[in-house]
């Protein structure tokens, strides 16, 4: 017969961790980029979470805690993948991680001429938006996914990524701007934005 | 409360939309963007952008049933009899 402690542990895991299976799968999918890799990540995440469940404080942010485990598992896997490392290095060169300049606008400038109010976003199907997110450099993708797709607060994003709050703001600002540019390009290529529009 | 200008309002726009500002600063930004015609396209565009991402988030696939079963089986083997 299981002890009371073992029963409590099981019940709290079922009540607090397992309900986030969908959220962790979605997060893993955006991190890893393919369903098979995401499935491996999810299994790894819940195995590690269960084994480390004694270290979790009941009633705190289980979803963030699971995302942290998931991301760590992903990063360990990724260390073996030099192609992605090259992508991050390239992103770091082109988008230096600095404080956002006071004069920098939140919406990327190229859009202002053709569709200043961003109506084209309504024409984009979800799959194209998710593809554009998946194509973002890792640092920006993580911040955008956690904030915009998973709805975490900046503080929670900072905890999952283990970076200062200012870095989260900077990555979100730049990641969103880069994403806007890519979505704008998609809308132009698809004919949703006419180049002669003024 | 001192009114803020366009530059400050737009610099804080995402934090405003994300609900990350203090109540006082939220009110300052709200007062500015509610009345500023110059900021309107930026505010509208950022709002459309966020809405599009939120729609896309809802459209993501859920955890497949087969994976759900695999996780349950794996946890059972680890001592969690779900």
In the prediction, which pLDDT does B3 show? 84
Any domain includes B48? yes
In the prediction, which pLDDT does A71 show? 95
pLDDT in tens, A124-177: 788 889 999 999 999 999 999 999 999 999 999 999 999 999 999 999 999 999
The verdict on a CB contact (< 8 Å) between B45 and A10 is no
The verdict on a CB contact (< 8 Å) between A51 and B78 is yes
For residue B18, what are its two tokens? Answer: 């994300």
Please say if the pLDDT value at position A186 is more than 80. yes
Please state the domain count of chain A: 2
Any domain includes B19? yes
- Smallest CA-to-CA distance from A20 within A52, A55, A61, A57 is with A61
Any domain includes B31? yes
pLDDT in tens, B42-81: 999 999 999 999 999 998 899 999 999 999 999 988 887 6
Nearest to B71 among A30, A43, A124 (CB): A43
Task: Give the count of Cβ contacts less than 8 A between chain A and B.
Answer: 132
A139 and A164 share a domain? yes
Backbone phi, psi, residue B37, to 5°: -70, -35
A47 and A108 share a domain? no
Give me the residue label for tokens 């300052």. B28
Please state the domain count of chain B: 1
Any domain includes B1? no
In the prediction, which pLDDT does A179 show? 94
For residue A41, what are its two tokens? Answer: 């990540």
In the prediction, which pLDDT does A112 show? 63
In the prediction, which pLDDT does B21 show? 96
- B61: which chain A residues are within 8 Å (Cβ-Cβ)? 25-26, 29
A38 and A123 share a domain? no
The verdict on a CB contact (< 8 Å) between B49 and A117 is no
A59 and A100 share a domain? no
Any domain includes A198? no
- State the residue range of the domain holding A22: 4-78
Question: Residue A197 — very low, low, confident or very high, per pLDDT cuts 50/70/90?
Answer: very low
Q: Please give the span between the terminal C-alpha atoms of chain A, in angstroms, as a whole number.
A: 74
In the prediction, which pLDDT does A76 show? 84
A91 and A71 share a domain? no
In the prediction, which pLDDT does A30 show? 94
In the prediction, which pLDDT does B81 show? 67
Interface test with B, best of A29, A148, A154 (most B CBs within 10 A): A148
CATH assignment of the domain containing A62: 1.10.1740.10
- State the residue range of the domain holding B35: 6-77
Interface test with A, best of B15, B47, B53 (most A CBs within 10 A): B53
A26 and A40 share a domain? yes
ipTM: 0.88
Alpha helices in B1-82 (DSSP H): 6-11, 13-17, 23-35, 40-58, 65-77
In the prediction, which pLDDT does A198 show? 44
A176 and A97 share a domain? yes
| Torsion sign, CA atoms A135, B20, A71, A43 | negative
Distance from CA of A92 to the nearest CA of B (A): 22
Boundary-marking domain end, from A78, A105, A138: A78
For residue B26, what are its two tokens? Answer: 């939220």
Asked if residue A143 lies in contact with residue A172, where contact means CB atoms within 8 angstroms, the answer is yes
The verdict on a CB contact (< 8 Å) between B49 and A43 is no
In the prediction, which pLDDT does A119 show? 76
pLDDT in tens, A18-53: 999 999 999 999 999 899 999 999 999 999 999 999
Q: Which residue of B has its CA nearest to A12?
A: B80
Any domain includes B82? no
Please say if the pLDDT value at position A63 is more than 70. yes
Please say if the pLDDT value at position A2 is more than 80. no
Boundary-marking domain end, from A78, A110, A131: A78
In the prediction, which pLDDT does A38 show? 95
As a whole number of Å, the CA-based R_g of chain A is: 19
A102 and A148 share a domain? yes
Interface of A with B in 118-177 (CB under 8 A): 118-119, 121-122, 124, 126-127, 129-130, 133, 144, 147-151, 153-154, 169, 172-173, 176
pLDDT in tens, A83-112: 555 655 655 555 445 556 656 776 666 666
Nearest to B52 among A13, A121, A150 (CB): A121
């Amino acid at each position: 017969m299981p002890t009371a402690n073992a029963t409590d542990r099981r019940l709290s895991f079922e009540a607090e961790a397992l309900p986030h299976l969908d959220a962790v799968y979605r997060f893993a999918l955006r991190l890893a980029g393919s369903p098979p890799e995401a499935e491996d990540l999810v299994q790894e995440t819940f195995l590690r979470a269960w084994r480390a469940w004694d270290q979790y404080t009941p009633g705190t942010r289980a979803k963030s805690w699971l995302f942290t485990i998931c991301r760590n598992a992903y990063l360990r896997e990724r260390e073996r993948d030099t192609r992605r490392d090259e992508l991050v290095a390239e992103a770091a060169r082109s988008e230096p991680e600095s404080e956002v300049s006071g004069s920098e606008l939140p919406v990327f400038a190229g859009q202002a001429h053709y569709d200043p109010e961003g109506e084209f976003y309504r024409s984009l199907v979800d799959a194209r938006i998710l593809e554009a997110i998946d194509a973002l450099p890792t640092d920006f993708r993580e911040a955008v996914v956690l904030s915009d797709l998973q709805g975490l607060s900046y503080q929670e994003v900072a905890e999952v990524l283990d970076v200062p709050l200012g870095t989260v703001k900077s990555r979100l600002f730049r990641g969103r701007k880069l994403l806007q540019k890519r979505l704008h390009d998609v809308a132009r290529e698809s004919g949703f934005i006419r180049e002669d529009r003024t | 409360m001192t009114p803020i200008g366009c530059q400050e309002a737009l610099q804080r726009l995402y934090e405003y939309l994300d609900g990350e500002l203090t109540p006082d600063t939220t009110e300052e930004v709200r007062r500015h963007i509610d009345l500023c015609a110059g900021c309107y396209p930026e505010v509208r565009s950022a709002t459309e952008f966020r809405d599009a991402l939120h729609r896309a988030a809802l459209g993501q696939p859920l955890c497949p049933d087969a994976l759900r079963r695999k996780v349950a089986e794996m946890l059972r083997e680890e001592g969690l009899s779900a």
